[in-house]
Structure 1
Amino acid sequence: MSANAKRAAWEEPPTVAGQAAKGASIVVIALLILFPLYTIALTSLSSSETVHRVGGLVVWPGDGITFEAYEQMFRNPVVLRSLVVSLGVTAVGTAVSVVVSVLGAYSLSRPGSLGHKTVLFSVLLMFVVFPGLIPVYLWVSAIGLRDNYLAIILPMAVSAFNVVVLRAFFMSLPQELFDSARIDGAGEFRVLWRIVVPLSKAVIAVVTLFYAVAYWNNWFNAFLYLDDTSKWPLALVLRTYVVESAPLPQAAGLTEAPPTLAVKMAIVMIAIVPALIIYPFVQKHFKKGVIIGAVKG
């Protein structure tokens, strides 16, 4: 290559102006993400007088911080019960979804598996064809899952996107690993557990995060299939009290109820805190898992 040949634009070192523009863009994006969270958290921690005086979300804690909204929330049996329900449904549903998705993706990554082409075609078909709300509702009702927690787990137990991502990653693993394991007498489940899963921790962590967030935020299935309000998850309670502005029962022992907006923001914070806590532990695997799983194979 001659010295005078012009290099591609992405091979050139970044300019000072380009670096400054990137830095400014990152700062703006960070502010757009963090400022709403800041106002929600501050409003939930503000006093009645502050919220009433501001007439909306609080940007500056003029009268100090108070936990009266959270006190009512944690004294309220509806919110506490829904929080426990959401934790249980998310844990069980995520475990079921990850296990089924890993098993399905591994079988689809092996060309000689039973019904390989038919099942793979069915999974890919789910990207463009969905049975619709009414058939799923009739199916759930027909098998007797109305007012059952399984009704909010089984309809979303498997995601075609997650299965395809896992399959692509499994197919990128060296075939020599599978051949050597089979020479040593290992069966398919042993190969999956001892070789595939340890090498796929990054993509499995990302898929687990996808499923956990989906279960945690899912309110529509609970709205359709759970008639007993004591079984509602936190997402449905959040929708009922925040979006529809339905009143919360008064908590015993409080002489003054927190302002409605503070109550709403307190429920919002309770709903988003678990995701904020879990995400940093999975974030290091996110880029590696999604890019490798989606590009290779």
Structure 2
Amino acid sequence: MKKSAGDRIFDIINVLIMLCLVLITLYPMYYVLCASVSSNTYLVAHPGVLFWPHDFTLGAYKMTFQHPLILSGYRNTLIILAGSLPLNIVMTLFCGYFMASKNVLFKKYIIFYLMLTMFFSGGLIPAYLNQRSLGLYNNLLALIIPGAVSLYNAIICRTAISGIPDSLVESAYIDGANDMVILFRIIAPLIMPTTAVLLLYYGVGHWNSWFSASIYIEDNNLLPLQNILRALLIANSDILGGGESVGDEYNSYAETIKYAAIIVTTVPVLCIYPFLQKYFVKGVMIGAVKG
């Protein structure tokens, strides 16, 4: 069909708006990348727009990877991910399977109680006192155990499980399978796209989390990576420059190391996301259309 002049003008305006949105979205990332490899002296003397690196140097990245707190932050974050993700997925599968099961005693009341926790909580002070009484204060377990399951993610899992035909589960029962066998050998393989989305949700959540560590972790060597980054960027802390081993050399990269730290903490998620994008789209669409 031949487009009218009005249609062509509308398309041009749409393209221009989209290009502006792309520029607004990508330029901050491009600026951070350019600033991380530019001279510290130039950034301090010329704040504002930056279109290309000036006095190219990788010194900020060298300082970032050499500092023990950055390395310990990476280590702690990876430990949290390794301990949390298997626990998150198993607990979410249990909760989703329960909510999707039929003919469960008191199921309606239990689900109501679970839903209540999405709107009301005990508060920060009781949670803090509970962590201390359990001996989890200043321990990485305080960042793993309390967030073992997200009810929102469990609802997504429940929706995926509900899409599996009841006849498949009933035939497994007839063959002598129990609930554990049905869950992990029949249902879990059938909802792998949803599981991949939940892994992405949980993984990004743990990677970006900083508040819980700021409450429950006292030792700097146990802080996750995002808390180190926050201390560097927002709190204006000298946490990275406190050691004598870095001292003056750190000060010579005081500005550019902030941008290098942003790149270092962001790139891993950017590298993983493309591999899970197709599953992410499926997960977002779960429950969007009700048949």
TM-score by length of 1: 0.87
SS across alignment from 2:138: coil
**Which of these residues, 214, 220, 229, is aligned with residue 229 of structure 1?**
220
- Gaps spanning 5+ residues in structure 2: where? 1-6
- After TM superposition, the structure 1 stretch with the greater mean CA deviation from structure 2, 83-92 or 246-255, is 246-255
- After TM superposition, the structure 1 stretch with the greater mean CA deviation from structure 2, 105-114 or 95-104, is 105-114
Identity of aligned pairs, percent?
34
Q: Aligned residue for 1:46?
A: 38
**Post-superposition offset of 1:115:** 4.2
SS across alignment from 2:286: helix
TM-score by length of 2: 0.89
Deviations 1:181-213 (A, max 9, x none): 222222212211222112211111111111111
**Post-superposition offset of 1:21:** 4.6
Q: Aligned residue for 1:187?
A: 178
**Which of these residues, 249, 260, 264, is aligned with residue 266 of structure 1?**
260
In 1, the alpha carbon distance for the partners of 2:272 and 2:34 equals: 22
Q: Aligned residue for 2:122?
A: 131
In 2, the alpha carbon distance for the partners of 1:160 and 1:60 equals: 45
Q: Aligned residue for 2:4?
A: none
In 1, the alpha carbon distance for the partners of 2:282 and 2:119 equals: 27
Q: Aligned residue for 2:3?
A: none
In 2, the alpha carbon distance for the partners of 1:154 and 1:81 equals: 21
In structure 2, relative to structure 1, the CA distance for the partners of 1:54 and 1:216 (3 Å cut) is: same
In structure 2, relative to structure 1, the CA distance for the partners of 1:252 and 1:137 (3 Å cut) is: closer
Q: Is the 8 A contact 1:169 1:294 kept in 2?
A: no
**Post-superposition offset of 1:71:** 0.5
Q: Aligned residue for 1:291?
A: 285
**Which of these residues, 5, 12, 29, is aligned with residue 37 of structure 1?**
29
Task: Write the letter of the residue equivalent to 1:88.
Answer: I
In 2, the alpha carbon distance for the partners of 1:155 and 1:246 equals: 28
SS across alignment from 2:70: helix
**Which of these residues, 108, 112, 122, is aligned with residue 121 of structure 1?**
112
Answer yes or no: is 1:200 the counterpart of 2:200. no
SS across alignment from 1:154: coil
SS across alignment from 2:255: helix
Task: Write the letter of the residue equivalent to 1:38.
Answer: Y
Answer yes or no: is 1:280 the counterpart of 2:258. no
* RMSD, matched Cα: 2.2
Q: Aligned residue for 1:213?
A: 204
SS across alignment from 2:146: helix
Task: Write the letter of the residue equivalent to 1:271.
Answer: T
**Which of these residues, 84, 89, 92, is aligned with residue 98 of structure 1?**
89
Task: Write the letter of the residue equivalent to 2:39.
Answer: S
Task: Write the letter of the residue equivalent to 1:219.
Answer: W
In 2, the alpha carbon distance for the partners of 1:57 and 1:133 equals: 41
- After TM superposition, the structure 1 stretch with the greater mean CA deviation from structure 2, 248-257 or 148-157, is 248-257
In structure 2, relative to structure 1, the CA distance for the partners of 1:253 and 1:226 (3 Å cut) is: closer
Task: Write the letter of the residue equivalent to 2:264.
Answer: I
**Post-superposition offset of 1:56:** 4.9
In 2, the alpha carbon distance for the partners of 1:289 and 1:21 equals: 32
In structure 2, relative to structure 1, the CA distance for the partners of 1:67 and 1:112 (3 Å cut) is: same
SS across alignment from 1:102: helix
Task: Write the letter of the residue equivalent to 1:191.
Answer: I
In 1, the alpha carbon distance for the partners of 2:128 and 2:270 equals: 32
In 1, the alpha carbon distance for the partners of 2:80 and 2:288 equals: 28
**Post-superposition offset of 1:167:** 0.8
Answer yes or no: is 1:151 the counterpart of 2:145. no
In structure 2, relative to structure 1, the CA distance for the partners of 1:201 and 1:84 (3 Å cut) is: same
Answer yes or no: is 1:59 the counterpart of 2:57. no
Deviations 1:17-37 (A, max 9, x none): 555454444333322221111
In 2, the alpha carbon distance for the partners of 1:284 and 1:141 equals: 42
**Post-superposition offset of 1:289:** 1.6
